[in-house]
Amino acid sequence: MVKTLRVGVITSTHGIRGEVKVFPTTDDPKRYEDLKEVLLDAPGGTLPLRIERVRFFKNMVILKFEGYDSINDVEGYKGMDLLVTRENAVELAPGENFIADMIGLDVVTDEGTRLGTLKDILQTGANDVYVVKTEEGREILLPSIKECILDVDLEKEKVTVHVMDGLLDL
């Protein structure tokens, strides 16, 4: 199980007083209002950063970290991920899972046939799409709808799916 979860990526600095623009990679950007600390995924290891102020602008989150008061303090952080520990992660509803926990799970059909390994989950507007890599290296795209994704079992490291007519014909 992954120990940290990515909640955003620093895209650029904002102004000259040490603020950064963050592209949120969480379902609810408003969650930043409740965060006290994030971890910067820096080349030398993670660096804890205390959040001093949070603002929102269009689809971005603007963060100010304690002790970082100039553009020079944060300039080198562009392109780096912001992480949270499991303890600071949002509460999941029953039946929900973190994408990071699902990557690498075996994908099998409801008839017992192994399709491959869950490689990625694409978040589209309507519903997520599971990307399954087969043994032959082919990719199968499965919509995350209840008729197709029947069960996700993290303990057994398995996703059970129903392959709807035409999904394997692509």
CB-based contact 48:36 (threshold 8 Å): no
- Identify the architecture of domain 99-161 in CATH: Roll (2.30)
- List the domain boundaries for the chain: 4-87, 99-161
Write the pLDDT tens digit of every residue in 33-63: 989 999 999 998 899 999 999 999 999 999 9
User: Which long-range contacts link 88-92 to residues 24+ away (Cβ below 8 Å)?
Assistant: 88/35, 88/36, 88/37, 89/5, 90/26, 90/27, 90/28, 90/31
Q: How many CB atoms lie within 10 A of CB 83?
A: 19
When the candidates are 3.10.129.10, 1.10.3720.10, 2.40.30.60, 3.40.50.11720, the CATH number that belongs to 4-87 is 2.40.30.60
* Total-model pTM: 0.72
